[in-house]
Amino acid sequence: REGAAPPRSASVRTTGAYNDGAWHHLALRRGDGRLTLFVDGTQVSAADVPGTVSRNSPFGVHVGQRLDSRAHFTGAIDEVSVYERALSDAEVGGLRTGDVPVTRDTVVRLPMDRVRGSN
């Protein structure tokens, strides 16, 4: 688009290893100018993130890969949800335990119960 600002991105990561054969709950929250990563209900990383996200402006969300597609997640992804607002710490913890129901704040829910594919 002519005159449009170049895309901006932000990332958070953890140095922890989660290859122990168990499922782990990850949550990413954007709110109050920060991008925060939670693993198993505990905040492990945060970064300042510029700008805003609006339903009226296009924005990308990349799950399981980098923005430039040079690195991909190895493992399984299940139960992806996007909410209309930033969830509280307690709500993030409730997602991990299944105590937060699907509500009208849920914009996208991908249970991935019937996903099939081959490489």
Where does the pLDDT of residue 103 fall: very low under 50, low under 70, confident under 90, or very high at 90 and above? Answer: confident
| Per-residue pLDDT reduced to its tens digit, 23-77 | 899 999 999 899 999 999 999 999 998 777 776 777 677 777 777 888 888 888 8
Q: Is residue 67 part of a domain?
A: no
Q: Is residue 79 part of a domain?
A: yes
Is 51 within 8 Å of 59 (Cβ atoms)? Answer: no
- Domain range for 106 is 24-49+74-114
Task: Report the chain's mean pLDDT, rounded to a whole number.
Answer: 82
Number of domains in the chain: 1
Q: What percent of the chain has pLDDT over 90?
A: 24
Q: Is residue 63 part of a domain?
A: no
